[in-house]
């Protein structure tokens, strides 16, 4: 049965019957006057040409490995691989093998496969106690004692010989020794110390007389362990490539899809004179460093870890905490008395110690940067690998230290610190050298005119092809989200309110904004702000959560230009966070940058800001270029190293006794890495199931959102696993129970449509619902959302609740329902509020359904001030007593959607709670910033 579409411009509602359409038009569109909107009047949001071409490295058409099928005229996505560094397979001795040669499978001899453990059970117990549960030594000993006691009692009860009365380990020491004997993933920690000058005067400061320790792992060993991990086989690229879609447009995702890998592979090939690199595998080395504090209250203990990963693995694997980002060093943090805080010599000493330490740690990689070495890869094949320093993940203070620039300057371009509006010529280490030579002996000119710190020689000077300015990666978390949004734009907004309304009235407005933020309806994954923004310790996650709800809260208090400034900036943040960026998305990113630069002038005209020469805000102009070079920025975001701090630094520190904690932390890291590597080896031998097993989305009813480690790549919505037993099983009685007398009629109409009965036959009556009804309080949507926190295959799950009591309050979540699959984005969907999840059987077929209340849209385009679609509950006529209800199949539900009230001009009362919002407000913004997947499908 075909659907009837509403013909009102911009309305996306569809109906089964003409009578329903008439009622809809009379109630929703009768008194609405259309206001034409011409986007061409807005010069700041003029889109770039969609046909703009992006430069690609030169490629011979004969080198296409994945091309269009000659048997089909339909274009297909394709990958163009590098013609020379192709990652050809070889044997363990480096001799070439024919293509198609199968890899040698690891031996699965069960007699010695579990060495040093005495079988699977012993390994799994050690893995559970030490890595997963992080059980203390005392509790481990107690558990093992209880184990022995239980087995002894079992032996006495069964009167059998005492052959099984031993625990897997004698005590925690025995378990630790067994773990230490694991060879897989072994990368022992080493230490070197700085040498103190013997000629120092007796009154030299303490920081000059101290010998600093730097702990490190051999990075070559760490890379070898990553490359040999068989669990990475499905998320691994052996060669740089150019990815194009069906339309022939370029797209960027993982690191190897960017121009950096291609350009350096070509450079390596061109510099090679003996032909040693032909067919080799490029291994881009990605580093990351960031100080982290583990204790503020007890001595302000901080560490400076250095991390390593490789560009061959996919972004999803790097973000999925799959032990592919490894700590390889803990850099020294010199301390001094306060009188040396601004001492130039002390600052220079710290910078030199920093760069010399990194250069010393990476020393073992240098030979393999010119002459390939044979390494085993995740697919089991051996290949010649050549290393290359590719990227460095760091926040702005760390970038200043890395690039040897002056605070306030850009580490990537030569834009003067006094005018950081637009990008300038790129910085390079060779250009720095020329300037240092030209102005030798006049460091002040270098410092003031070019932002170069003459005292710093970057560690990249010791390695071929490495340029620290080129390696600086985009930093979404610290520079963009926390730095620009929370620390700048949000603060500027409240400064504007004070300037316009005076401090007293501005404080009242800010209190109302806090109440608006506090009453936002609940949504899976949405952090609550019960007191608005008023808390002191802000984290990156807090800043990201505030981005999701800030615009609707301030919409009535800010002028249009300021709202468009915020909206364009948030659009930029969400666009660059996508896992797959094509030319259209890149043009949209450029458009959002231009719009942001245009609209931010409102802060100057309102006297909030005098200039925008801010390095963190300036960094956004480099993002289009960085995307083309490095792929999607979310694969190199500092959030990766920030989250790694938890497992590599903070948890090991908490497990230590706080005395000489670093040595204990290093040992903990080493043991955890060995257990993970041993498990991967057992998985490859098919002695253990894969580590990333599918997550059962119905196990935890209170777990509203999370990753799904599954190969499934199609969206689906399923009812909860357990039905609610307190509801009537008859459809008629159920309608009365839930105060919906139309439930039976709507369900019969739904079944009528599902069975595709011909309603032109007057003798045919709608079918009768005779089966038992099962009611559920939630459903789970599973969909492909690699830009959000998801499994290594990009799958995410989200619980949609429809329950009379959740945390003591009624909760009926809103959903997106497909109404026209031929329309793109939000125009092909409609918003509805769930009233009841239920299912029934008819003639042996199960029908999972949802009773919902439709919402209609205001106008035919997004609200120009906020960029949101605005919707309102739909009713028949003018009375709110006749809501537009329907029963639809669960297959038409896309996922949940977050609605934020259009608050209006009236202050929010203190007694209002989040669960009241969907019932008392008349209009709502469709929140495209609820998460990154929502942004992609609604934008």
CB 268 within 8 A of CB 413: no
Q: Which of 671, 584, 679 is nearest to 939 (CA)?
A: 584
The pair of structure tokens assigned to 168 is 């897997």
Q: Is the pLDDT of residue 244 over 80?
A: yes
Q: Is the pLDDT of residue 46 over 90?
A: no
Cβ-Cβ contacts under 8 Å for 207 (sequence gap 6 or more): 334, 335, 336, 340, 346, 349
pTM: 0.86
Instruction: Calculate mean pLDDT across residues 453-477.
Output: 94
Q: What's residue 699's pLDDT?
A: 39
The pair of structure tokens assigned to 387 is 């290393």
**Banded model confidence at residue 564, pLDDT cuts 50, 70, 90:** very high
Q: Residue 224: which H helix or E strand, with range?
A: helix 219-227
Q: Residue 598: which H helix or E strand, with range?
A: helix 583-599
The pair of structure tokens assigned to 267 is 């450079």
Neighbours of 75 (CB within 10 A): 13
Sign of the Cα pseudo-torsion (410, 415, 419, 423, in order): negative
Q: Give CA separation, 623 vs 400, 421, 680, 728, in Å.
A: 18, 14, 36, 57
**Banded model confidence at residue 38, pLDDT cuts 50, 70, 90:** very low
Neighbours of 174 (CB within 10 A): 15
Q: Is the pLDDT of residue 89 over 50?
A: yes
Q: What pLDDT digit, counting tens, does each position of 635-657 carry?
A: 999 889 988 999 999 999 999 98
Pairing of strands 189-193, 814-818: unpaired
Q: CA-CA distance, 753 to 541, in Å (whole number)?
A: 45
Q: Is the pLDDT of residue 72 over 50?
A: no
CB 299 within 8 A of CB 288: no
Helices 560-576, 623-630: axis angle to 10 degrees equals 10
Strand partners, 855: 873
CB 567 within 8 A of CB 511: no
Phi and psi, residue 454, nearest 5°: -65, -20
Q: CA-CA distance, 664 to 136, in Å (whole number)?
A: 13
Q: Which of 512, 609, 500, 592 is nearest to 552 (CA)?
A: 512
Among 153-162, 315-324, 354-363, whose mean pLDDT is lowest? 153-162
Q: Is the pLDDT of residue 417 over 50?
A: yes
Q: What's residue 884's pLDDT?
A: 94
Cβ-Cβ contacts under 8 Å for 300 (sequence gap 6 or more): 293
Rounded-to-10 torsion of CA 154, 156, 157, 160: 90
Q: Is the pLDDT of residue 56 over 50?
A: no
* Terminal-residue alpha carbon distance, the chain: 30
**Banded model confidence at residue 672, pLDDT cuts 50, 70, 90:** very high
Q: What pLDDT digit, counting tens, does each position of 373-384 carry?
A: 999 999 999 999
Most confident of 103-112, 151-160, 729-738: 729-738
Phi and psi, residue 348, nearest 5°: -65, -40
Q: What's residue 167's pLDDT?
A: 84
Q: What pLDDT digit, counting tens, does each position of 141-199 carry?
A: 999 999 888 888 877 777 665 555 578 999 999 999 999 999 999 999 999 999 888 88
**Banded model confidence at residue 742, pLDDT cuts 50, 70, 90:** very high
Cβ-Cβ contacts under 8 Å for 502 (sequence gap 6 or more): none
Q: CA-CA distance, 352 to 456, in Å (whole number)?
A: 7
Helices (H), 443-582: 443-450, 468-471, 491-518, 540-554, 560-576
Q: What's residue 846's pLDDT?
A: 92
Q: What pLDDT digit, counting tens, does each position of 288-308 carry?
A: 999 998 875 555 789 999 999
Q: What's residue 391's pLDDT?
A: 97
Q: What's residue 263's pLDDT?
A: 96
Q: What pLDDT digit, counting tens, does each position of 823-877 carry?
A: 888 889 999 999 999 999 988 889 999 999 999 998 888 999 999 999 999 998 8
**Banded model confidence at residue 597, pLDDT cuts 50, 70, 90:** very high
> In this prediction, what percent of the chain has a pLDDT beyond 90?
60
Instruction: Calculate mean pLDDT across residues 518-532.
Output: 84
Q: What's residue 181's pLDDT?
A: 95
Q: Is the pLDDT of residue 78 over 80?
A: yes
Q: What's residue 10's pLDDT?
A: 45
Q: Give CA separation, 845 vs 38, 744, 751, 842, in Å.
A: 50, 18, 11, 5
Q: What's residue 675's pLDDT?
A: 94
CB 156 within 8 A of CB 164: no
Q: What's residue 248's pLDDT?
A: 86
Q: What's residue 1's pLDDT?
A: 45
Q: What is the mean pLDDT of the chain?
A: 85
Phi and psi, residue 937, nearest 5°: -90, -20
Q: Is the pLDDT of residue 694 over 70?
A: no
Among 693-707, 713-727, 836-850, whose mean pLDDT is lowest? 693-707
Instruction: Calculate mean pLDDT across residues 609-618.
Output: 93
Cβ-Cβ contacts under 8 Å for 690 (sequence gap 6 or more): 231, 683
Neighbours of 103 (CB within 10 A): 16
Q: What's residue 5's pLDDT?
A: 56
**Banded model confidence at residue 321, pLDDT cuts 50, 70, 90:** low
Q: CA-CA distance, 609 to 620, in Å (whole number)?
A: 19
Q: Which residue has the higher pLDDT, 56 or 921?
A: 921
């Amino acid at each position: 049965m075909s659907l009837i579409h509403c013909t009102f411009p911009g309305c996306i509602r569809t109906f089964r019957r003409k009578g329903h359409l008439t009622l809809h038009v009379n109630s929703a569109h009768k008194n609405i006057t259309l206001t034409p909107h011409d986007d061409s009047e807005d010069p700041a949001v003029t889109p770039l040409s969609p046909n703009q071409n992006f430069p690609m490295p030169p490629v011979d058409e004969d080198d296409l490995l994945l091309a269009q099928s000659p048997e089909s005229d339909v274009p297909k996505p394709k990958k163009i691989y590098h013609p020379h560094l192709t990652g050809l397979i070889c044997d363990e001795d480096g001799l070439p093998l024919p293509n198609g040669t199968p890899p040698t499978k690891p031996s699965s001899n069960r007699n010695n496969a579990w060495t040093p453990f005495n079988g699977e059970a012993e390994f799994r117990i050690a893995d559970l106690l030490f890595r997963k549960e992080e059980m203390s030594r005392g509790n481990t000993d107690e558990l093992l004692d209880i184990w022995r006691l239980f087995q002894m009692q079992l032996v006495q009860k069964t009167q059998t010989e005492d052959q099984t009365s031993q625990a897997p380990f004698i005590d925690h020491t025995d378990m630790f020794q067994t773990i230490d004997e694991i060879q897989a993933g072994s990368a022992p920690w080493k230490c070197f110390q700085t040498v103190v000058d013997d000629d120092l005067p007796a009154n030299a400061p303490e920081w000059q007389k101290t010998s600093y320790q730097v702990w490190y792992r051999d990075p070559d060993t760490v890379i070898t362990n990553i490359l040999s991990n068989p669990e990475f086989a499905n998320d691994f690229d052996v060669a740089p490539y150019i990815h194009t879609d069906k339309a022939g447009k370029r797209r960027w995702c993982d690191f190897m899809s960017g121009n950096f890998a291609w350009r350096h592979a070509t450079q390596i090939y061109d510099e090679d004179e003996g032909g040693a690199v032909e067919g080799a595998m490029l291994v881009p080395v990605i580093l990351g460093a960031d100080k982290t504090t583990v204790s503020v209250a007890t001595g302000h203990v901080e560490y400076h870890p250095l991390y390593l990963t490789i560009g061959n693995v996919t972004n999803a694997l790097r973000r999925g905490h799959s032990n592919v980002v490894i700590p390889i060093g803990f850099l020294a943090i010199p301390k001094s008395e306060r009188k040396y805080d601004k001492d130039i010599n002390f600052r220079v000493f710290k910078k030199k110690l920093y760069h010399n330490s990194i250069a010393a740690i990476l020393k073992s990689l240098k030979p393999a940067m010119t002459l390939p070495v044979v390494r085993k890869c995740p697919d089991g094949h051996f290949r010649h690998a050549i290393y290359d320093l590719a990227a460095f993940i760091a926040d702005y203070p760390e970038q200043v230290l890395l690039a040897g620039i002056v605070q306030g300057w850009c580490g990537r371009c030569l834009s003067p610190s006094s005018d950081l509006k637009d990008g300038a010529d790129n910085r390079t280490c060779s250009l720095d050298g020329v300037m240092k030579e030209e102005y030798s002996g006049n460091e002040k000119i270098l410092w003031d005119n070019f932002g170069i710190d003459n005292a710093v020689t970057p560690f990249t000077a010791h390695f071929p092809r490495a340029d620290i300015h080129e390696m600086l990666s985009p930093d979404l978390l610290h520079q963009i989200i926390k730095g620009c949004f929370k620390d700048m734009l949000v603060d500027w907004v409240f400064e504007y309110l004070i300037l316009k309304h005076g401090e007293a009235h501005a404080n009242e407005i800010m209190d109302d904004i806090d109440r608006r933020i506090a009453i936002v309806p609940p949504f899976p994954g949405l952090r609550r702000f019960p007191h608005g923004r008023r808390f002191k310790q802000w984290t990156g996650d807090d800043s990201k959560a505030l981005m999701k709800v800030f615009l609707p809260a301030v919409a009535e208090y800010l002028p249009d230009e300021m709202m468009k400034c915020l909206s364009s900036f948030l659009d930029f943040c969400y666009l660059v966070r996508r896992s797959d960026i094509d030319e259209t998305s890149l043009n949209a990113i450029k458009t959002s940058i231009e719009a942001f630069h245009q609209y931010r002038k409102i802060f100057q005209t309102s006297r909030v800001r005098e200039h925008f020469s801010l390095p963190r805000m300036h960094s956004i102009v480099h993002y289009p270029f960085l995307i083309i070079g490095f792929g999607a920025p979310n694969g190199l975001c500092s959030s990766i190293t920030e989250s790694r701090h938890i497992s590599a630094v903070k948890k090991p520190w908490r497990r230590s006794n706080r005395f000489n904690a670093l040595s204990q932390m290093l040992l903990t890291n080493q043991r955890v890495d060995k257990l993970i590597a041993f498990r991967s080896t057992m998985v490859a031998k098919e002695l253990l199931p894969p580590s990333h097993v599918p997550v059962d989305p119905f196990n935890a009813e209170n777990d509203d959102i999370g990753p799904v480690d599954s190969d499934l790549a199609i969206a689906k919505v399923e009812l909860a696993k357990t039905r609610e037993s307190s509801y009537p099983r008859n459809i008629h009685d159920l309608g009365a129970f839930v105060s919906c007398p139309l439930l039976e009629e709507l369900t019969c109409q739904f079944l009528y449509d599902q069975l595709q009965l011909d309603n032109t036959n007057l003798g045919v009556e709608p079918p009768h619902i005779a089966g038992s009804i099962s009611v559920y309080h939630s459903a789970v949507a599973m969909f492909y959302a690699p830009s959000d926190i998801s499994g290594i295959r990009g799958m995410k799950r989200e619980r949609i609740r429809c329950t009379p009591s959740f945390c003591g309050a009624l909760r009926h979540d809103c959903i997106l329902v497909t109404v026209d699959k031929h329309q793109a984005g939000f125009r092909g969907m409609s918003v509805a509020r769930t009233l009841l999840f239920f299912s029934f059987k008819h003639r042996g077929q199960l029908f999972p359904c949802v009773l919902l209340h439709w919402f209609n849209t205001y106008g035919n385009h997004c609200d120009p001030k906020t960029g949101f679609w605005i919707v309102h509950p739909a009713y028949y006529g003018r009375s709110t007593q006749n809501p537009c209800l329907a029963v639809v199949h669960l297959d038409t539900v896309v996922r949940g959607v977050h609605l934020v009230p259009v608050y209006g001009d009236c202050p929010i009362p203190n007694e209002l709670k989040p669960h009241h919002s969907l019932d008392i407000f008349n209009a709502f913004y469709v929140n495209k910033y609820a998460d990154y997947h929502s942004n992609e499908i609604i934008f």
